[in-house]
Structure 1
Amino acid sequence: MALLLVLFLANILTTSKGSISQPDHVHHQIHLLRPQSGAGGNLVPGLSCLSWRLGVETNNIIGWKTVPQVCEGYVGHYMLGHQYLKDSRAVVNEALLYAQSLELDRDGIDVWIFDIDETTLSNLPYYAKHGFGVEPFNATLFNKWVMEGAAPALPESLRLYRKLLSLGIKAVFITGRSEDQRSVTAANLKKVGYHTWEKLVLKEPSYSGKPSVIYKSNERKKVEKNGYRIVGNIGDQWSDLLGTNTGNRTFKLPDPMYYIS
């Protein structure tokens, strides 16, 4: 397991420099993480794990609590392999094309909304250790991981962030992390390359028990009421992108590990 975490972090460092390739032996060793039965197994007749993931990413399969047991090996291999990085790059490439096409006034009020977990910061070291979503979410263990401040950047999201800044578009982070995690989250962001932002919005206790789509819609509305234009919005959950005040265009990053309503 320790070897796999080292390989993942090495891969993140490599991709952050512009390359998503890795040696074949690294690619094959990813299979050692979990049993591979999910790669070709069926959930129901005619539905493979690949089809399940497609349904998840297109928001046709909603409200699910855990990854199907038979698909844990498939999801683990996808997240730690080439394809997750390639899919993320494809999304970011489209976001960059869009951003570069904008005729900006350079008046300082254009912003881009970023989610944090599995969007700007990656928790793959945590999931590689604790499993890929087949068990119910353990908030205690996850919060302990967050407080370590050790999450690496998603390389493609960091590439988007840097380009947006160069275009004069400011970053606004809106995360489901709680307000008491502000300092460690800010330090983690800066440590991996997100060195500046216009706003960092964390979840207040008043949103406890409310769907994320309501929380994020309300916070985006506040951003616009403060005079900003939301020109873009990127996240790994559909609840990051649906609701109100979503911005001029949204971009969905892949994440078959969990679902947040």
Structure 2
Amino acid sequence: MRRSTLTSPARGLAALAVGVVAGAVVAGGGLASADAKAPRTDRQITNMTDEVAEIKAYYGDTVDAKGEHWPSPDSNYAVQVRGIENQAEKYLVQRAKHDHGDHKAIVLDVDDTTLSTYNYELETTFVYNPVSNAQYIATKTMPAVFGMNELATRAQQQGYTVFYITGRPEAQRAATAANLAAVGYPAADESHLFMKDKSAPPPYLSCGASCSVVEYKSGTRAHIESLGYDIVGNFGDQQSDLSGGHADRTFKLPNPMYYLP
């Protein structure tokens, strides 16, 4: 789950900091003009406390007896996800009726496409840390994103092969596969779950260990196609999960918590 740790307000603050530094540069004996891209006043920046409150309201934040936070199935988030899933299911059913080959496939991202990281994000105040993230994945079971396990299972029943492509490191394979199985997803064995391996990147990725998210995910989809599969649908919560082609149609799930370029 490697990603940029800046939420929208944090990115605004970072831009403001850049503008302040740029404005302090002496040019021709005076101060250079402020960066035009930086917010001109604090009123142009969403207050971080307010934005976290909005995120929690959108997800229908609920707290269990252990103090852990979960999205509500009645939340606006859940409603939006179900709407996207309904469109996807109609499309997959239609394609299954007309495409009778044995090599139809769908591709799913993991974090916040199949498994919800909402509780982890709140625990870390939306700041990604590889150590805390690895510990969380190793010790806790993330719930399925509402309805996505059912969508994947029905797709499999209709003849689709289900693949997963995640930016999680290879070291988290066992925990990731176990979590997917525990919440009802089709099998995520080594031939169906693709994970990042910087120490030994696969030969089909020409960018090797230095792949961007788009290069890694699109290159892996190209590899799946080379095995004879038609990727009918590609599902992700980041645009970088979906860019780069090698899928007939893409489905973008909502995620206001973080951004992965």
Pairs aligned (count): 198
Correspondence 1:186 to 2:177? yes
Work out the CA distance in 1 between the residues paired with 2:244 and 2:172.
Answer: 25
Correspondence 1:142 to 2:133? yes
Report matched runs for 1:83-232 at 5 Å: 83-102=76-95, 103-131=97-125, 133=126, 136-197=127-188, 199-205=192-198, 206=201, 208-232=209-233
- Residues 117, 175 of structure 1: 8 Å contact kept: yes
Unmatched segments (≥5 aa) in structure 2: 1-38, 62-71, 202-207
- TM-score when normalising by structure 1: 0.69
- Residues 111, 228 of structure 1: 8 Å contact kept: yes
SS in 1 for 2:235: strand
In the alignment, what sits opposite 2:253? 253
- Residues 156, 186 of structure 2: 8 Å contact kept: no
Work out the CA distance in 2 between the residues paired with 1:162 and 1:47.
Answer: 44
- Residues 115, 234 of structure 1: 8 Å contact kept: yes
Using the aligned pairs only, state the percent identity: 33
SS in 1 for 2:147: helix
Query: Shift of the alpha carbon at 1:225?
Result: 0.6
Work out the CA distance in 2 between the residues paired with 1:84 and 1:46.
Answer: 27
Work out the CA distance in 1 between the residues paired with 2:165 and 2:107.
Answer: 7
**Equivalent residue letter for 2:112:** E
RMSD after superposition: 2.3
- TM-score when normalising by structure 2: 0.69
Change (3 A) 1:149 1:111: farther
SS in 1 for 2:128: coil
**Equivalent residue letter for 1:95:** A
Summarize deviations over 1:17-63 as a string: whole Å, max 9, x none. xxxxxxxxxxxxxxxxxxxxxxxxxx9799796xxxxxxxxxxxxxx
Work out the CA distance in 1 between the residues paired with 2:158 and 2:112.
Answer: 24
- Residues 150, 185 of structure 2: 8 Å contact kept: no
Unmatched segments (≥5 aa) in structure 1: 1-42, 50-66
Work out the CA distance in 1 between the residues paired with 2:172 and 2:98.
Answer: 34
Query: Shift of the alpha carbon at 1:144?
Result: 1.1
Work out the CA distance in 2 between the residues paired with 1:186 and 1:89.
Answer: 24
In the alignment, what sits opposite 1:24? none
In the alignment, what sits opposite 1:233? 234
Query: Shift of the alpha carbon at 1:116?
Result: 0.5
Work out the CA distance in 2 between the residues paired with 1:232 and 1:70.
Answer: 36
Which structure shows the bigger proportion of residues in helix conformation? 1
Which shifted more, 78-87 or 203-212? Answer: 203-212
